[in-house]
Amino acid sequence: MDAPAEVEFGQLLLTGIGLMLLAAGALVLFVVTYQKRLLQQQLRLRAAEAEYQQQLLAAVIEAQEHERERIGRDLHDGIGSTIATAKMLVNRLEADQPTDNRPELFGMVKEIMSTAVHDVRSISHSLFPAVLARYGLADALQHLVDVSNETGTLDIELEVDYPQPLALAQELALYRICQELIHNALKHAHGATRLDVLLRQRGPLLTLVVEDDGPGFDLTHLGTDGQPATKGAGLRSIDVRVQLLQARLRQQSAPGQGLRTVVEVTSPST
């Protein structure tokens, strides 16, 4: 028979081995469970990213369709009616008219066609601002402000401090945002007398500010994110470009205090 000490040692050894196997099994189970949870989390993250990309793509398409609709409306209501009027005047010239009336009709046709040429240039510029590609964002914004000032609706002032230009795609997105904000102010800021546009760069931070002195609106009409609860196609178009720029958009307003829109873009450090 084995000695009592040897029996006790064997029992302790078997117990130790059993505990080690149990610990190893628990460790393996923990690792497998952790990896399974990590894989599920990664799958959920990929699904969320895919859904976000789908939403962003849908918003981009919606913004493009909105711009196409507006351009089509400008073509129909502006250039279409202008050319139709010119055609009517030409038809009158073809008919038997008194000789002394023809110079007046010719002058009207020339004036109408000049208007049509101006409208075509404006629409062409809205499709793609050639000034931006040639001279950069600062000059493109100056041209946009000059053209907008021709409407006589608002006195638009531009201040630019932009020493380090961004990539063309980023500049185009900022230009479109500013273009939409100016368009919204001209259309909706009833009673406003001025519109200030500021483009300022401080290190990696680029700030675009568009502010009017119009009637403004109640902050209670804003959502929890500080944005209007109900957004039209123009604001959704701005949101899309803000997301593409990975920028930050803030709007501040109150009754009688106008609307201030701030877009902040942080450039990656070099």
At 146-202, the pLDDT tens digits run 888 887 778 999 999 999 999 988 998 899 899 999 988 888 888 889 999 999 999
pLDDT, residue 265, reads 95
Give percent above pLDDT 70 in the chain.
77
Residue 254: pLDDT over 70: yes
Most distant CA atoms of the chain, gap in Å: 143
DSSP 19-81: HHHHHHHHHHHHHHHHHHHHHHHHHHHHHHHHHHHHHHHHHHHHHHHHHHHHHHHHIIIIIIH
Give the pLDDT band of residue 233 (cuts 50, 70, 90).
low
Mean pLDDT, the chain, integer: 80
pLDDT at 268 over 90: no
Q: Whole-model pTM above 0.95? A: no
Beta bridge partners of 248: 264
At residue 225, the pLDDT reads 46
Span between the terminal Cα atoms of the chain, in Å: 80
Mean pLDDT of 245-259: 88
Least confident of 21-25, 165-169, 229-233, 235-239: 229-233
pLDDT at position 247: 92
The sign of the CA dihedral 146, 136, 160, 129 is: positive
pLDDT above 90 for 66: no
Instruction: Say which residue, 156 or 53, is predicted with more confidence.
Output: 156
The confidence band for 12, taking pLDDT boundaries of 50, 70 and 90, is: confident
For the ranges 1-10, 79-88, 120-129, the maximum mean pLDDT occurs at 79-88
Is 196 within 8 Å of 157 (Cβ atoms)? yes
